[in-house]
C-alpha cells in the first residue's frame, strides 16, 4: 500500500491533530487492511470538515487519509441499528507504544479520561505503531 506524501503524527501531536478537523458526523469512505508478514498496514479514508483556524477561515469538506503502520489489533463490527458509514466521532490516543484510532464515539462521564480498555471495547478501531495522514480536497 504505497501512499505518497504522508505526514507522520507523533504521539505528542495526537491532540493537536484531532483539533485540526471536525470528525463529528464524518463519513467513512474506505477501509483497507494489508496483512503483510513484514507488518500489517491499515488505511482509512474519512470525509470530514476542517476546523476554524481564524475568523476568516470557513470550514471546508476534506477527505483525510489515515495510514496506520505496524497494525497489531483492530475491530470493525457492525451492530444492529448503527450506521455503516456515518461516524459519531474519531478519538486518538497512545498506550504502551501503540496509537489507537477509534471511529466509535466513547460514552464517558464528564471529566473521565479514556483508557486503553475504552478503545478496545469499541466497535471500530485500529491500533498500530505509526500513524500518518494526508489531506485531499473533497469533491462534496
The predicted structure's pLDDT at residue 39: 85
Which run of H or E residues covers position 19?
Answer: helix 14-20
The one-digit pLDDT tens for each residue of the chain (140 residues) are: 554 689 999 999 999 998 889 888 889 999 999 988 888 999 999 999 888 665 567 778 899 999 999 999 999 887 777 666 688 888 999 999 999 999 887 666 666 778 898 889 888 899 999 999 999 865 65
> What is the value of pTM for the model shown?
0.84
Q: How many CB atoms are located within 10 Å of the residue 49 CB? A: 17
Is residue 69 within 8 Å of residue 130, measured between CB atoms? yes
- Strands 124-128 and 73-76, by their bridges, are antiparallel
Amino acid at each position: 500500500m504505497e501512499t505518497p506524501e504522508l505526514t507522520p503524527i507523533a504521539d505528542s501531536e495526537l491532540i493537536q491533530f484531532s483539533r485540526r478537523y471536525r470528525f463529528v458526523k464524518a463519513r467513512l469512505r474506505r477501509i483497507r487492511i494489508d496483512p503483510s508478514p513484514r507488518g500489517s498496514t491499515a488505511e482509512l479514508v474519512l470525509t470530514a470538515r476542517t476546523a476554524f483556524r481564524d475568523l476568516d477561515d470557513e470550514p471546508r469538506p476534506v477527505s483525510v487519509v489515515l495510514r496506520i503502520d505496524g497494525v497489531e489489533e483492530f475491530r470493525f463490527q457492525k451492530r444492529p441499528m448503527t450506521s455503516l458509514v456515518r461516524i459519531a466521532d474519531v478519538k486518538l490516543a497512545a498506550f504502551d507504544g501503540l496509537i489507537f484510532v477509534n471511529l466509535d464515539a466513547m460514552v464517558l462521564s464528564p471529566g473521565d479520561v479514556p483508557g486503553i480498555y475504552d478503545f478496545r471495547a469499541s466497535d471500530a478501531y485500529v491500533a498500530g505503531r505509526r500513524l500518518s495522514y494526508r489531506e485531499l480536497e473533497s469533491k462534496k
